[in-house]
Structure 1
Amino acid sequence: MRVLAVWAVVTAAIAVLAGVLPDFRIQSPDGDSPTRIAMTAGVAAASFGLLSALVWPLIVRALLLVPALVLGVLVFFLNGAVLLLALRLVPQDRGTISAESAVVIAAVLSAASSAANAWLSVYDMEAYRRRLARLAGRRRKHRRVPEPDAEGHVAPGTVFLQLDGLGHDILESAIEGRHLPTVQKLLTGGTHRLVPWRTDWSSQTGASQLAILHGSNDDVPAFRWYDKDTGRLMVCNRPTNAAELERRHDGRPGLLAHDGASRGNLFSGGAEQNALVLSVSGRPGRRSRSGYFAYFSDPANATRTFLAFVAEVLREIGQGLRRRVRDERPRVPRGGIYPFVRAFATVVERDVVVAAVMGDMLVGRTAVYADLVAYDEVAHHSGVRSPETLQVLRRLDKAVELITGAAQYAPRPYRFVLLSDHGQSQGETFTGRFGLSLDDLVRTGCGLEISRKGRNRAERAERGAEARAAARVALRRPEGEPPERPAGDPVVLASGNLGLVSFPDVPHRTTYEELQERFPKLLATLTGHPGIGFVLVRSEERGPLVIGGSGQHELTTGVVEGDDPLAPFGPGAAEAVLRTDSFPHVADVMVNSAYDPRTGEVHAFEEQIGSHGGLGGAQGRPFLLHPVELPLPPGGLVGAEAVHQVLKGWLEDARRPCARAETVPMNRQIPSAASGPALLPSPEFSASSLRDTD
C-alpha cells in the first residue's frame, strides 16, 4: 500500500509539473482527457521508479572514483538522464521534455518520493522491520554471529558512538533542557550510567582517539607540532600524518581488531572494515570511500542529502550574518568555505556514518566505533551553548535514535556506549581579546620583526578541525605542504588554547638556560602577558619547569616558588603536564592560555570561540555513557589510555564463554534499545539509506 501511495504522489507531481512547465509535456499535441493524462503520468512515474531502482546503483558504482561531493552534484544530471530515458517508455511519444527541465523535475520527483515514503513509514513498525530484514539478508553470508549457548544466549556486540567535542557538563545541560530525548530515555530508564572522565593535557581528537582506539597516545603533544627529527609539521588531521601516527602505535591490537568496524574516525583501531577513516586514506594505494557508495547508490538519498546540504549552507550564512548584525561577542569569521565545511559535517558525514553503522549492526559485527563530528565543528564557530549548537545536538540525538532502534532487527543483541573524546571551553580568542597573535608575542620576545603579511602562516595553512580534513579527502584534494619559514625563525603553532614554540635551528630541545642566554626577554614576555596562564620549559638544573606570572612549579620535585601557576587548572594538572614533558617531540616552549575558573573561559590561539587542546575548563571533561551492567574501575578515568583499557575489557568480557549467562537471549530486546515509535526513523532519515558498506 505504501508503494502504491508513493507511486500516486509521484504521478501527481508529474501531472502538476507538466501543467506548469511549458517544455514538459505528457499528452498528445491535440490534447488528452484527464484520465488519459493521469494514465500517462502513472506510466512515466513507474518507469522512472523502475529505472532508478535498476540502473542507478550501476551508475554510482561506475562513478565511485568521482569525489564524493562532486558525485552529490552530478546526481542531479544523472537523475535527469534517467527521467529522459523513462519518458521514452511513455506510449505514443506523449512524454517530451527539455534536458534542462529534466534535471529539475527529476530532483523534485526524487524528493517527493523520499518525503512521501519517509512520512508513510514513520509509525509503520512492520514495514520498517521488513526493510531492515531485507537489507540484512543481502549480505547474510558475511554475518559474524557466534553460536548461541545451551540457553539460547548470544554474546552481544557493542556500538561506540563518539559525539565529538561534547563535554560532560554541556551534555547534562542539554538533557535537562530536553534537547536530547533519546539520550535522556537511556538514563531515566535506568539502563545506562553517565560519568565524566579527564583528558590528557592535549585535549583534542588526535590524542584522545588515538589512545582510545590504539591504547597509546605517547609522543602526541598537541593537534599539530614541529618534528625536529624530520623537519616536518605533524598535524593529526592530515591523512599521511594520521597514517604515520597509527603506524607508530600499532604494536598492540587495536580496540577494533576483533571483527570491528571503524566509521568516520581519524584512526582505524585495527579494524578490518573502514569507511571515511582518515588514516586509511593516508596509506599508499588505499582509500576509505566505501561508505559513500553505500549511501549515494540510492538516488533519493543523494537528492535528499544534497538539498539538506544546501539548506545547511544557507542556514549558516544567515546565522553568521545575524550574529554580525547584532554584534554578538565573542565572534570569529565564518565566511569563505566554512559554510560548506559545516554542511559537510552536519549533513553528509552524519548521514553516511549513520548508514554505515546500521549496516554493520545488520550483519552482526562484534564492535563498531563511529565518530559524529557535527557538534565539534559548529561549536568552534558558534559557541558551546549557542542555539546553533543545540540545534545540531537535537539532530545528533535523532541519529542515536535511529541507530539504537535498529538493534531490535540485528541478528545479535547490541550494547550502546556513547562517549566524547574531549569537551570544549568557550572564550574570546587570544587575538580578539588582546589584539595580537601568539606568533606576534613570541617574535616580540625574541626581538624579531612582526610580519603581518606572513604572520602565523604555517598555523593558518593547517587550521581546521576534523570535518575539514574529511571534506578534503572526500574532494580528493592534495594535502599540500605549509610554506617555508625564514631560517632561524621560531615555529609557533596553535592547538586550541595550547601553543607550541619550536626553534628549528636547534637540533635538540632548547633548555631554559639556553633560552635565557639567546632570548633573555622571551619567557618574561610570555609569562607577563595577561592572556598566558603558564609555560613549560626544560631546565638543565631543575628539570621540567612550569613558569607563571608570579610563580614557578618544579614538576619533578613538586617545589613551588610564589604562586603555583597550575593551581587555577585544578587537580591533576601537574601530572598531565609532567607526562607531556616526557614526550620526545614536545616543543621547546609549551604555552597554555590563561583560564578563569569563575567563568570557565580560555583564550584560543586559533580563530575559535569554542576550543580545546589544552588545560582549562570543560574541554578536559568529556563523558562516558554506558550500560549499567558494564563495570568501571574505582577512582574515575584519567587519560584516554585508561578509557581504552575499560572499553577493551568490556569487549573481551563479552567474548568470554563464561560471560554468556550475562548476555541477552536472542528473543529478547536488549535493554538499551527501547521499543516503540520513538525509535523509528524520523523523516530526516530513511531506512533506504542503509547498505552494508563492505
Structure 2
Amino acid sequence: MGMEPDGDAEARRTLPEPLRVGLRVLRDYRPTLGRLRALLRSMVTSFVVLSLTLWLLPGVTASGLVAMLWLVGLIAGIGAVLRPLLFALSTALGGLGALAIGVCVQAVVMYVALRLDPEAHVRGFADAFAAAWLAVALAAILNWLADAGTDDAFVSEMLWVMNRVRRGPARHRRPAWHRRGAGGAPPERQTADALLVVQLDGVAAPLVQWAIRAGNLPTIGGWLRSRSHRMTHWHTGLPATTPAAQAGLLHGEVRRVPAYRWYEKATADDTASRLMVTSRPRDAAEVERRLSTGQGLLRDGGVSISTVFSGDAPTSLLTVSRAGLPGRSTRGYAAFMASPYGFARAIVRGAGQVVRELYEARRQRLRGVQPRGRRSGSYLALRPMASLLSDLNVSLIAEQMAGGAPVIFCDFLDYDEVAHHAGPARPQALAVLEALDQTLGILQRLAAEAARRYHIVVLSDHGQSQGATFRQRYGESLAQVVARLAAPTVRPTAPDGRPGPPTPVREAATAEAAGPVEEWGRVNTLLTEVAGRGGATGTATRVAVRSHTEGGEVTLGPADEEAAAATRTDPETVVVASGNLAMIYLPRHPGRLTRERVDALVPGLIDGLAAHPGIGLVVVDSAAGPLAIGARGCHNLRDGQVDGDDPLAPYGRWARQDLLRHQAMDHVGDLVVISAVDPGLEEVAAFEELVGCHGGLGGWQTEALLIHPADWPQEGELVGPEAVHGQLLAWLRRLGLRRPDEHPDERDDPAGRTVDPDVGDA
C-alpha cells in the first residue's frame, strides 16, 4: 500500500478516535474464507442458542421463525444501545457495584428485547435472568465445539474500552505526555516508545522451549521464528518464589525476602515475634516499606497490575502491598464487569474449568497417575478466579495502554496455580500455558491501537518442579519429624547404675506453616480494598466478611491461623515451608543460631534431619562459616571445602552461590532444609501438599524465562532477579523511559551479573 497524501492524512486525524480506529480496521481487513465462516457461524450460533434457551425455559417464549430472527436482531441492537449506559453506571458505582451490573447486564438486554418483540413473551425479570445466563453458557459450549472459540469479540470489547479512555472527559484524561508521542503527535502515529512487561507466573524456560518446538504456542513461536524476539533464560537463585523474584525485578533487592513466608524472632527492642506471609496485604506492605528506596522499576509513571509489590509505581491495580482494587476512575475494570464478553466470558470459562478439574482428577485416580495431589476444597472453589483475573488483567492493560502509561508490569497467575495441583507438565497445565500464549496474542493486537508504541517483554519469576510430597512419601510432615527429633529426653539409670539410652519424654511443641496460602492472596487483596470503601459496596462487603477481618484486612485462608500458632503458643520449634524449601526456627533463643549452639540445645536434630531420606541438605551457620550438611558429607559454603560426598552435587552449578547468598538474607531460619532431589527424574519432595512446587533447589524451578525484542542487547548471564532488574533498567534507558537517578544505585547494573566475588561461578 502506497503512502497517502499529506492532506488525506491530516483530514483523517481530525476524525473522532473511534472512527479512526474503525477506518484502520477496514483498511487492514481482507476477506477470507475463515472470516466468512466465522460470520456465518456467529449468526447460526445466536439462532441456535436462543432456540435452545426458549425451549428449555418455560417462562420465556417466541412464536415462529420470523419472531426468532427478530429477537436475535433486537438483542444485538439493544445491547449496543444499553452498553454505554451500563458502562457509565458501573464506572460510577465501582467495586462490587460494577460486579452487580456485570451480573445483571445480560438479563437487562434479554428482558428489554423480549418485551419489545411482539411475538415473544417473558413472565418476569427472573426468567430473563435465567435465559440470559443460559444463553451465555450455551454460546460458550457451541463456540468451543466449533473451534474453541475466537478472541475477536473480546478484542473488540477491549478496543471499545481503549476508545472510551482516549475520548473521555478532560478531567479523566491522562496528561499530554501520556496521550501523545514526541512533539505532540497524535496517538495513532505511536511515535513514543513504551514497555509492557508480562510475567507468566511459574513458567519454566525449558517447558516453553519444548512447547514451542511442539508448535503449541503460536504467538511466542511466531515471534521467535520471525526473529522479532529472542528467548533466553535466567537463573532465579534461592528462594525461587514470586515475592522474592518481584522484590528483585521491581525493586532490585531480594535480601528482605528469604521465602514466601518466614518467621521473625522477637528482638531486644520489644519487637514481637511474628510470621510474615507475603500474600497478606499488611505483611506485603511492610516488606515493601523495607524494600523501597523510591527508585523502583516503575517509578517514572509506571503501572503495576496483579503483583505482590508495586515497584514504586504511581498507579497500582490489584497489587497486594497496596490492596489495589481498581477504583471508580478505572474504566477497564468497570467495562470488564459490565461487558457480555468480559465478566460473562470469565464466569462461563471458570465454570468449565471446575468441571474439567473434577474430570481430570477422577481420570488421574482411575489411571493411577503418580505423583498426584488433591484437587478439591479451596483450590476448586478458587479455580474460576484465575480466569476472571486473567481477563480482568487484559482489560486493565488495555486501559493503561490507551492512556499511554510508559511502563506496565502485569503478572498472570493462571499457570502457576494449576501446575501446583496438577503438575507442571501435565495436560491441564499445558492447556493453561497455551491460553496464556493466546492472551499474548490479544495484547499484541491491542498494542497496535495504543497511544504509544508498546514493546512487549515476557518473563517468568521461577519455574516449577514435580514430585510426590514429603508427607505422601514418608507418611508424616516435616514438622512431625522435627517434633520427634527435637523432643526432650531423659537418660534413665540402668539396674547396674550406668545411664541408659536417651528416652523421649514427649514430642517438642512445634508450630507449622505449610498450608495453601498462596491461592488466597489475590482474593484477600480484592476484598480488603472493597471493604475499606464507603457506601453500600463497602458496607455489604464488611458485613459479609466481618468474621474474617482483622485490622481492616480480609484474612480468608489459613495464613492467620498459622501466624497465631507460631506466635501465641510459645512453641519450641517453628517450621515454615515454601515448596521444597523449609526453614526451622528455635524461637525461644534470640538471633540466628550456629551449629554448635543448636547441637547444644537440641542434640541430634541436625544429624537426624540430614540422615532422613527425604532431605538432601541442612544448611546452618557455624564458626567456620555456613555449612551444607548431607547424609554422607558436608560442604563449607564459604571456602568450598567438601568432607565426604558433596551434598550439593545433585543441585546444579549455582547451588553453592545460591545457598551462600540465601544465608546472608534477613530472617533466615536457624536451619534451612532442602528436600532430596532424584538425580534421574529431577523430582523433589515439597513440604507443602503440592505436586508442583517451587521455592528451593532441584529440577526446573530455578529456570525462569525471558523473551525480549531481538535487537535489544543482553550483556552477560542473568543470575538472580536483581540482574534482570538491571537489564530492564538498561532497556528503559534505551527507550528514553528512565529519568536519570537523583541518587545512583549500584543495583542499576545493566550488565546483569550478580555473581558474588567470593564465590565465583561455583
Q: TM-score range by the shorter chain?
A: 0.7 to 0.9
Kept after mapping to 2: 8 A contact 1:276/1:291: no
Aligned with 2:673 (options 563, 574, 591)? 591
- Kept after mapping to 1: 8 A contact 2:93/2:328: no
Counterpart-to-counterpart distance in 2, 1:46 and 1:614: 53
Alignment of 1:255-404 (within 5 A): 255-281=297-323, 292-345=333-386, 347-404=387-444
1:650 to 720, 728, 731: 731
1:171 aligned counterpart, secondary structure: helix
Answer whether contact 2:191 2:453 (CA < 8 A) is retained.
yes
What is the CA-CA distance between 1:90 and the residue it aligns to?
A: 5.4
Task: Spell out the pairing of 1:193-592 with structure 2 (5 A cutoff).
Answer: 193-229=230-266, 230-281=272-323, 292-345=333-386, 347-447=387-487, 457-460=512-515, 463-465=516-518, 467-476=519-528, 478-479=554-555, 480-482=560-562, 483-485=564-566, 486-539=569-622, 541-592=623-674
SS of equivalent to 1:601: coil
**How many Å apart are 1:288 and its aligned residue?**
12
Instruction: State yes or no: 1:101 paired with 2:124.
Output: no
Contact 1:256 1:271 in 2 (8 A): yes
AA partner of residue 276 (structure 1): L
Structure 2 distance, partners of 1:280, 1:261, is: 12
Q: Shift of the alpha carbon at 1:365?
A: 1.8
| Cα drift, residue 402 of structure 1 | 0.7
Match of 1:137 among 159, 166, 186: 166
1:425-482 CA distances to partner (integer Å, 9 max, x unpaired)?
1111111112221111111110168999x9865332xx233x4311333355522443
Structure 2 CA distance for partners of 1:291 and 1:263, relative to 1, 3 Å:
farther
1:129–1:409 Cα contact (<8 Å) kept? no
Shift of 1:657: 11
Corresponding residue to 2:204 among 153, 167, 172: 167
TM-score (norm 1): 0.83
Q: Is the 8 A contact 1:275 1:290 kept in 2?
A: no
Alignment: residue pair count? 639
Tell me the secondary structure at the aligned position of residue 644 of structure 1: helix
Aligned partner of residue 128 in structure 2, secondary structure: helix
Paired residue type of 1:438:
L
Instruction: Give the secondary structure class of the aligned counterpart of 2:673.
Output: strand
- Aligned residue type for 1:464: V
**Greater CA drift, 640-649 or 402-411:** 402-411
- Give distance in 1, aligned partners of 2:158 and 2:604: 70
1:373 maps to amino acid = L
Q: Is the 8 A contact 2:319 2:525 kept in 1?
A: no
For residues 159 and 634 of structure 2, the distance between their equivalents in structure 1, rounded to whole angstroms, comes to 66
After superposition, the Cα gap between the structure-2 partners of 1:126 and 1:288, relative to the gap in structure 1 and judged at 3 Å, is closer
Alpha-carbon distance in 2 for matches of 1:174, 1:4: 33
- C-alpha distance 46-446 of structure 1, shift in aligned 2 (>3 A): closer
The structure-2 alpha-carbon separation of the partners of 1:76 and 1:193, relative to structure 1 and needing over 3 Å to count, comes to closer
Aligned to 1:680: none
Letter in 2 for 1:514: R
Give the secondary-structure state (helix, strand or coil) at the position aligned to 2:626.
Answer: strand
Deviation at 1:191, TM superposition (A): 1.5
What is the Cα deviation at residue 331 of structure 1?
1.1
Quickly say closer, same or farther: Cα 1:294–1:250, change in 2 above 3 A.
Answer: farther
* Equivalent residue letter for 1:411: A
Partner of 1:80: 107
Aligned-partner SS, 2:232:
strand
Instruction: Look up the match of 1:192.
Output: 229
Counterpart-to-counterpart distance in 2, 1:44 and 1:601: 57
Distance in 1 of aligned mates of 2:485 and 2:155: 70
Map Cα deviations across residues 636-666 of structure 1 (whole Å, 9 max, x no partner): 01111111010011112211799xxxxxxxx
SS at match of 2:643: strand
> What percentage of residue pairs aligned between the two structures are identical?
34
The CA deviation string for residues 62-101 of structure 1, in whole angstroms up to 9 with x for no partner, is: 6534298xx37x844564355445555556x964323432
Contact 2:201 2:462 in 1 (8 A): yes
Q: Deviations over 1:175-213 (max 9, x none)?
A: 111111110111111121111111121011010111101
- Give the alignment's Cα RMSD to 1 decimal: 3.7
Q: Which amino acid aligns with 1:531?
A: G
| Distance 1:236-1:128 versus aligned 2 partners, 3 A rule | closer
Partners in 2 of 1:24 and 1:13 — Cα distance? 13
Q: Which amino acid counterpart does residue 45 of structure 1 have in structure 2? A: I
Q: Give CA deviations for 1:296-346 in whole Å, capped at 9, x if unaligned.
A: 12144222211111111111111111111222110111111212323322x
Residue 71 of structure 2 is aligned to residue 41 of structure 1: yes
Distance 1:558 1:363 in 2: 53
Aligned positions of 1:603-642 closer than 5 A: 603-634=685-716, 636-642=717-723
1:146 aligned to which of 176, 181, 197: 181
One-letter amino acid of the counterpart of residue 97, structure 1: R
Deviations 1:210-263 (A, max 9, x none): 110111011211111101133111112111111111111111411111121111
**Structure 1 residues 65, 438: closer, same or farther in 2, change over 3 A?**
same
Report the residue type matching 2:167 in the other structure: R
Question: CA 1:4–1:442 in structure 2 vs 1: closer, same or farther (change >3 Å)?
Answer: closer
Distance 1:571 1:65, change over 3 A: same
Unpaired segments ≥5 residues, structure 2: 1-35, 267-271, 489-503, 529-544, 546-553, 740-762
Secondary structure in 1 aligned to 2:674? strand
Q: 1:497, 1:593 within 8 Å by CA — same for their partners in 2? A: yes
Q: What one-letter code is carried by the residue in structure 1 that aligns with 2:699?
A: G
Q: Taking structure 1 as reference, are residues 444 and 177 closer, same or farther at Cα in structure 2, changes over 3 Å only?
A: same
* Aligned partner of residue 197 in structure 1, secondary structure: strand
Distance in structure 2 (CA, Å) of the matches to 1:493 and 1:601: 21
Query: Structure 1's 515 and 165: CA in aligned 2 closer, same or farther, altered over 3 A?
Result: same
The answer to whether the 8 Å contact 1:551/1:560 transfers is yes
Cα 1:244–1:190, aligned 2, differ >3 Å: closer, same or farther? same
Cα gap change, 1:164 to 1:435, in 2 (>3 Å): same
> Match for 1:490: what amino acid?
T
Q: Which amino acid aligns with 1:458?
A: A
* 1:157 and 2:194 aligned: yes
Instruction: Name the CA distance, whole Å, in 1 between partners of 2:317 and 2:105.
Output: 25
Secondary structure at the aligned position of 2:239 is classed as: coil
CA contact (8 A) 1:383 1:610 kept: yes
1:370 CA drift (Å): 0.9
Q: 1:86 to 1:505 in 2, by over 3 A?
A: same
Quote the offset at 1:556 in angstroms. Answer: 2.4
Deviation at 1:417, TM superposition (A): 0.8
The amino acid of 2:377's aligned partner reads: G
Q: What secondary structure does 1:552 align onto?
A: strand
Residue-by-residue CA offset, 1:150-193 (whole Å, 9 max, x unaligned): 9x983421111111111111111111111111101111111211
Q: 1:13 to 1:524 in 2, by over 3 A?
A: closer
Task: Determine if contact 2:122/2:128 at 8 Å carries over to the other structure.
Answer: no
